[in-house]
A and B are shown apart, each in its own frame.
Chain A
Amino acid sequence: MTSAPESWQRVLWALLYSVQYEQRLTDALARSRALALILEPVHGFSPEEEHAALGAALESAAPLSEILPPPPETPRAEEELRDFAERVRRHMDELRPWPDLPFVTRLGPLWEDSAVIGRVRMGHMEVTERIRRHFQRPETGDDAPARLLLRLSSGDEVALVERGGRVDVLTRPEPGRAPEDVLAAFLFTTGLTPGEVQDLTGGANPASTGGARTGWLAYMLRREVSLDGPGTVPFRVFLRTRLYCQATGSPGVVAVGRLVPAFTMPEALAGYAAGKGETEPPRYFSATGRDLLDLVPEGYGVLVDPGTGYATAFDRDGPR
């Protein structure tokens, strides 16, 4: 293929690549790949766009086997590939409603009217290891800076651009949207800390979620729980993430049993309090996971986002 592929073909290429050496395209494999498309979308696509891409592939008369020819040891008939794509799409539907992702990556050119709102104090390969997304270089060549376009769960569009060994955070100015809030949403959704990102907005609130619907810690926990259970990485994310806890009239924290409920978003804390029958909005304080563990007595732990499918308890040694 020499011409630029259609967008649905990129999704199919990734899907077929991931199963090319599998002996059998089982239903369990289809479900696993559906989960991958939902929780770890192909670069440049949202889960909804991937779902649409699968639909476009199934409607297309173009042979799927030509997108990525199967290796000789696992030949595939066209029908087999189409059947697999169909099952993956069906599993995606069965897994609805899909969880909010902290961000999705986007394709396209960099905006000309962008403003720098922050500077990440690490190289782009380090940022990749942290946010699990590789930067891209435009096809103009290696001289162009590596970059990554994100749409945050706050709705903001943010570009990360490698400059001089550091990474600039750019956004497109939007009327009525303060750069401070965009930066706060960026920190919340990527899990990067205020100490790692130089604030060039004049003062983002580190305790704010910037209007984002879900943050990095919740995403990592959800993802890891859907794999094998949380390992060391979510614990490290937990330690540096700001969490919201219900405040009391006296010094201390509210504990349920030997666990202190802590929430990745203040709205979730309000929902939890309402669920307990409290009519007044709860008073809360926020602290990083590390500080919380220092605050609670020996033998107590912190339960992150109780009531969710990914709720995870941590103590000083890691996930319980």
Chain B
Amino acid sequence: MPTPDEAARALRTVARLAEEQGDALDRAFRLFGDGALLGPRAARLHAGLVDRCAEVGQAFNRAFRQVEHLVTAHGEPARVPAPRPRRPPVPLREPPGGFVGGDPDLMQVIDAELAEVAGSWQRAGEALSTTLARLGLDAAPGHNVARAGGWLADQRPDLRRRRAELLKTPPPPRPEPPPSSPFDTVAEAVADAAAGIGATWAGHVAGVASFAGLPAAGELARDYAEHVAVPLVQGVAEAVAGAARFGWEHSIGGLLTDPSGMTDRLHGAYAAGEFAAEHPVEFAKEVAGWETLTEDPARWFGRLLPDLLVGGGVATRTGRIADAAATGPRLPGGSPIPPPRTAADGPPLNTIRMDRRFEGETIWGVQYLDPGSLEATRLVVHEGRLYDVRGRPYSTDGGTSHWAPDDERAIFVMDRYGNLYASTHHEVGVFHHSSFLRGRQVAGAGDLRVRDGVLELISRHSGHYRPDAGDLDRVIDVLRRAGIDFRDVRREDYRDD
């Protein structure tokens, strides 16, 4: 039978242990509120944490009441206030699209907080068990607290694995900035010039080194130019252009010349939030320029330099966030429409020229698409099917005409990067294969017949480009690699072939 002093000391111990178990837990809940974790699995973890939190609270209360009863049984007042009820946990933030994921940095913090809570509960549980057992009381509350700590510790490997997955996922192609932007045109020109100058310089050094009997020095110079100097200059040029574009768009001049632009960008920023919540991996990597960092570190560092020197990091970062979110519609399954492929996505395809008879055809009324209209005609391959850029399965219903009375088809071209553009309305004298890419070279051209996203027929009928069989092979190869199964797709060459 414990003495009254032992009972009173035990009561203070239980109260202290209960009080100590709050701060780390509150911090962990706040991280949930900040969006460290989102989605169904996050909800399960959060719900489990809420349950464990309640169990721990009940365990301490039960332990306190047991000891308090012992104290008052000796005719002494308790003199120790009961553990305060804990603040209700911060609720989990509702993800906008049921996405599973989170913020890698916050996940790291939440992992640390959970580790602290787990350790603390396990230690407190053991201490509580010991205290209760010493008093001859039921030690179950202590076991419950320790078990809750063990449950928390068990969640951490999964949390760390998910964070690692998040950082490993390959990034989507970066959305291409509007090609008409003068800032980007300048950046491209500088990048091209840098590449030319670098190659020339390296060639000169190699020549001199060879003359001096030091061929290794020439190789070093080439390596330096190719892997360090030129990418660095290109990166700086891209970053300066990005910052300049941001500055212009957000200046009075930008507002005057593009009054809707600010609204669009604000919408883009809002969309960025949604995008980040639903696709944190892609979002995080867009912000970090992950692809460039892993593939071309010198170029990435070059982009970073102006950020560091003039504090433009927010500008270029914000631009990338907005770009990443400007994907709008989603494909089945929730993934965003991938942006057009660019030179950064791999070596360009071989191309063919438009028949010279059509040069200057706009004089007859043939229309050439601007970049925005072109984008509206782009098709993407998703899980073996073709979708338009609004995320709808593509169909060539209605693609018939007395001018070209074949079955329902769309005309298409593929550009040098493998982007596919199609329209079901081939309007003679107005809209032809040349309309998509303004008469420029294409990797392939012809007709498509598509039903509910399923490609049924592909041809190389194009009066403007007259593709040969190899050109059609090229298109088919790109589409096959993108996931289209060609076993049931009819291939149509020229009727007289």
> Which A residues lie at the B interface, using CB under 8 A?
1-2, 4-5, 9-10, 13-14, 17-18, 20-21, 23, 32-33, 35-36, 39-40, 42-44, 68-69, 71, 123-126, 128-129, 132-137, 139, 142, 146, 164, 223-224, 226-228, 231-233, 236
A sample of 6 inter-chain contacts (CB < 8 A) reads A17-B429, A32-B405, A33-B403, A42-B429, A124-B373, A128-B423
| Any A CB within 8 A of the CB of B219 | no
* CB contact under 8 A between A5 and B363, given known A32-B402, A134-B425, A226-B402: yes
Report yes or no: B401 in contact with A228, Cβ–Cβ below 8 A. no
Q: Which of B397, B402, B408, B466 is within 8 Å of A40, CB to CB? A: B402
Contacts of B404 in A (CB 8 A): 18
Q: Which of B362, B365, B401, B496 is within 8 Å of A36, CB to CB? A: B401
| Any A CB within 8 A of the CB of B364 | yes
- Besides the known contacts A134-B430, A231-B400, 18 further A-B residue pairs in the complex with CB atoms under 8 A apart: A1-B363, A5-B364, A10-B365, A18-B403, A35-B402, A36-B402, A40-B402, A44-B365, A125-B377, A128-B425, A132-B398, A134-B427, A137-B367, A146-B370, A224-B400, A227-B400, A228-B405, A232-B398
**A193–chain B nearest beta-carbon distance, Å:** 17
**A70–chain B nearest beta-carbon distance, Å:** 9
Report yes or no: A134 in contact with B431, Cβ–Cβ below 8 A. yes
- Count of chain A to chain B residue pairs whose CB atoms are closer than 8 Å in the complex: 104
Report yes or no: A129 in contact with B370, Cβ–Cβ below 8 A. no
**A257–chain B nearest beta-carbon distance, Å:** 30
**A182–chain B nearest beta-carbon distance, Å:** 25
Say whether chain A's binding surface is mostly helix, strand, loop, or mixed. Answer: loop
Report yes or no: A14 in contact with B428, Cβ–Cβ below 8 A. yes
Q: Which of B355, B425, B496 is within 8 Å of A129, CB to CB? A: B425
* CB contact under 8 A between A227 and B405, given known A17-B463, A44-B365, A128-B425: yes
Q: Which of A33, A126, A226, A232 is within 8 Å of B397, CB to CB? A: A232
Distance, CA A132 to CA B405, complexed state (A): 15
Contacts of A35 in B (CB 8 A): 402
Distance, CA A126 to CA B377, complexed state (A): 10
Which A residue sits closest to B395, measured CB to CB? A232
**B246–chain A nearest beta-carbon distance, Å:** 21
| Any A CB within 8 A of the CB of B181 | no
Contacts of B428 in A (CB 8 A): 14, 17-18, 36, 42
* CB contact under 8 A between A123 and B401, given known A68-B357, A137-B367: no
Which B residue sits closest to A237, measured CB to CB? B398
Distance, CA A259 to CA B377, complexed state (A): 40
Report yes or no: A10 in contact with B425, Cβ–Cβ below 8 A. no
| Any A CB within 8 A of the CB of B21 | no
